[in-house]
Structure 1
Amino acid sequence: MLVNQTESTQRGLNQASSQPLSRKRFRSGDPIIRSMNRVTNVLKEAMDKTNETLDKFAQVLAKNKVNENSLLATDLQKMQLPLADQIRIMQKPEITEVFKAQSNEDQKFQFIASILSGAFDG
């Protein structure tokens, strides 16, 4: 009889340990779930607006860069430089930034002449 009780007790323990622990199930009406859904929606809206703003900002930057490059190309063409020299200058941002900073046409021409003559080569 003692053996049967021990086997019965062990079987009961084994069955209890093999069953998953019960977890509290949340229902869609649960205040915690509603709050989490609201937070999720607010974050999604904020991310969408941020993406829209970043897209617009990138478009403005791209347009400004095109305009900037167009003005630079026009200035270099006015100097009647060979196309190869114009391209060489436009491919070096550090040169174009200094070029744009020159206050008048004469300074721009002197700067470009210095660059093309190799005065600043290393």
Structure 2
Amino acid sequence: MPKTLPLVDMSAPVCCPPVAAGPVDDAAALEVALRLKAIADPARVKLMSLLLTAESGAQTTGDLAATIALSESTVSHHLGQLRTAGLIESERRGMNVYHRARRDALAALCFVLDPNCCT
């Protein structure tokens, strides 16, 4: 039977010291690893790219699915993983759900990996 991972609140941007600052404790390592795991899929990388470059700042599930040629249910699953990791936010408007990247969460993750990346 697979080992159950501990629950981590990933709704806020990752907030631990940079990994280059010294040895990372177990909790911080898990926080970073779960966020990296959420984005470590080609479809999710494509979705993040589309959301980050969207002129309106937000796109619907249907528009994203059509752009990357996947079913809406598959895209919805991937978006759910990104949302759980705190990398995107979603808002229902009528019959559509609009998604946008959380740049603060991505910037925080970049800073944790390399504090010199965003200077």
Could you say which TM-score interval applies, normalised by the shorter chain? under 0.3
Task: Return the structure number with greater helix share.
Answer: 1
**Structure having greater relative contact order (Cα 8 Å, sep ≥ 6):** 2
Structure showing greater radius of gyration is 1
Q: TM-score, normalised by structure 1?
A: 0.23
Q: TM-score, normalised by structure 2?
A: 0.24
